[in-house]
Chains A and B, each alone.
Chain A
Amino acid sequence: MAGTLEATPSALVAAVRRGDTSAQSEFFVRHKDAVARQVMRMTGDASCVDDLVQEVFVAAFSRLDAFRGDASIETWLHRITINKVRNAWDSRRRRLAREAKVAVPEATEHDSPDDNVAAGEQLARFYAVLSELPAKYRDAFVCRVLEELSLEDTSEALGVPVSTVSYRARKAEALLTQALGLEGGR
C-alpha cells in the first residue's frame, strides 16, 4: 500500500483486510503500544506483555474478515485483548494449581496493606487477588473499573446485560476490598 504512513485509519484497515503486508506492518506499529498498555493495566505483569501482544495481533490478522466496522478498530482490538487476557488468566489459574505443590507465593505473607510494603508490592498483591476472583466478576471489574469502559461497551465486550455488568463489577470490588483488607470506605 502506497503511503501507509499517512493513511487514514479506515483506509489502513481496508488495506490490511486486502492482505497488504506493509499496511499490516503499519497497523501493528500504530496499535501495539496501546495494546501493550491495556495488557499491562489488566494483568499488572510486564513479563506477559510481549506474549499477549503477539497473541492479540495474530488473532486480529487471522480474523480481520470478521471485523464489520460497527465499532472502531480500537474497540475491536480492545475486545480481542480482553479475550486473550481472559485466556491467559485461565491458563495461569491452571498453572498455579500445578505449581501449588512447589512454591508458595510470597504474596500470602503480607498481612495487610498497612504493613508499609512498597507500592509495587501492593499492586502485585492487588493483581494476585484479582486473578483469584471468579472469572465473571474479575472480567466485569477489569473492563468497567480498570479499563473504564462504559456499561454498554462492557456489556457488549462480555456478552452480558448491562445490569449484570454493573452487579458483577460491584461484587468484584467488594470481594477485592475485603480480600485486601480495605473495607470501610463506603
Chain B
Amino acid sequence: MTLRMQEPEPDRDPRFEALLQAARGQSAPAVGVTFADVEAAVARRSRGWMLGLAVAAGFVAVTVWGWTALSERTSEVSSTATPVIASDAAAESTSARAVPSSGRAATPREAPGGEAPGGEPVVEPPATEETSAVEPEPDAREEDSPDPSLTPAPSPTVDATPTAAELAAQAEKAMLAGRHGQAVKILRTLVRTHPRSAAAKAGLIDLARLEKRLGRPARAQCAYALFVRRFPGDSRVSGVKASLAALGRSQPRCRGLSPRSD
C-alpha cells in the first residue's frame, strides 16, 4: 500500500481561485517549431561538445608538454649545481627561460572582461577598442531587401542559425563580458532570424541601448521603432516610446534595424 501525502484543501479567495483557473486553462498557441529545428539544434550542440572536448584535450597536451619540458630542464640544472640555494635560483632562472611561449599559453587565462561582481550585467563600460569597433556593413541581401529584419529566416537545415535561446544566451554573455560590438552583431542576427521570438523582443531593447552606448543613436532609434512596430501591444511599448523620443525629435527613416543613410 502506498501512502500519499495529502494537504488540506486551501481556503482561497474566490478571485484568486478564478485567476488560478484562468492560468491553468490557458490554451497554448500552435507550436511553430518543427522537428527539423530541434534536430538541427541537437546536431549543433553535439558538435559544440566535440569541439570543446578537442580544445580541452589540446590544452591538457600542451600543459603536460610544458611541465615535462620544465622538469627536464630543472633536473639538468639541479644536477650541476651543488648548493641548494644556488640550485633553486638556477632552476628558477632556467624555468623563466625554459617556460616557453607554449607553456605560457597553456596557463589558463581569464576571459577578458569576466563577469561583473554579483553577476550583474555590465552595461556601461567606457568604450574600448572592441566596443568602439565599427560593425561590418550589413551584407548585400540586407541592403537590397526593403526591410531585412522583417524577412523571415531561410528554412532551417542541419547547419541552420542557432536557436533564439542560444543567440540570446550568447548575446548576454557578450554583454556581461563588455564585448558590446559582438553583442550587437549577435542581437541583430537574433532579431533577423527569429523575428517573433520572445528573445528577439527583449533583444531589440538591449540592441537599442547598446547602439546608443556605442554612439549610434540613429540605429538605436531604428531598433526602438522596430520594437514598437512589431509589438504594439507589449507592456513595454510606452517606455520604449519614451526612450525613442528621448533620442531626438527627428526619427531616421529605417530599413529594418538600419537607418537608410547607413
Contact = CB atoms under 8 A, between A and B. Distances in A.
Interface residues of A, number: 68
Interface stretch (A7-15, A40-48, A70-78, A132-140): A40-48
Residue among B12, B15, B196, B243 with most chain A CB within 10 A: B15
A36 to B, nearest CB: 4
Contact of B165 (A39, A54, A62, A102): A54
Please classify the interface of chain A as helix (H, G, I), strand (E, B), loop, or mixed, using the class held by over half of its residues.
helix
A177 B197 contact: no
B45 interface: yes
Please classify the interface of chain B as helix (H, G, I), strand (E, B), loop, or mixed, using the class held by over half of its residues.
helix
B23 A146 contact: yes
A1 interface: no
A68 to B, nearest CB: 20
Interface in B38-74: 38-39, 41-42, 45-46
A54 B243 contact: no
Contacts of A54: 33, 37-38, 41, 163-165
A119 B23 CA distance: 11
Contacts of B236: 99, 102-103, 105-106
A113 to B, nearest CB: 6
Interface in B104-162: 119-121, 123
A55 B165 contact: yes
B102 interface: no
12 contacts: A24-B35, A33-B31, A37-B27, A50-B31, A58-B41, A61-B39, A91-B172, A97-B120, A98-B123, A107-B235, A113-B15, A150-B5
Given A106-B236, A127-B23, 17 more contacts: A33-B31, A40-B28, A48-B197, A51-B163, A54-B38, A62-B42, A94-B121, A95-B202, A97-B121, A105-B239, A119-B22, A146-B20, A173-B12, A182-B15, A183-B13, A185-B13, A186-B10
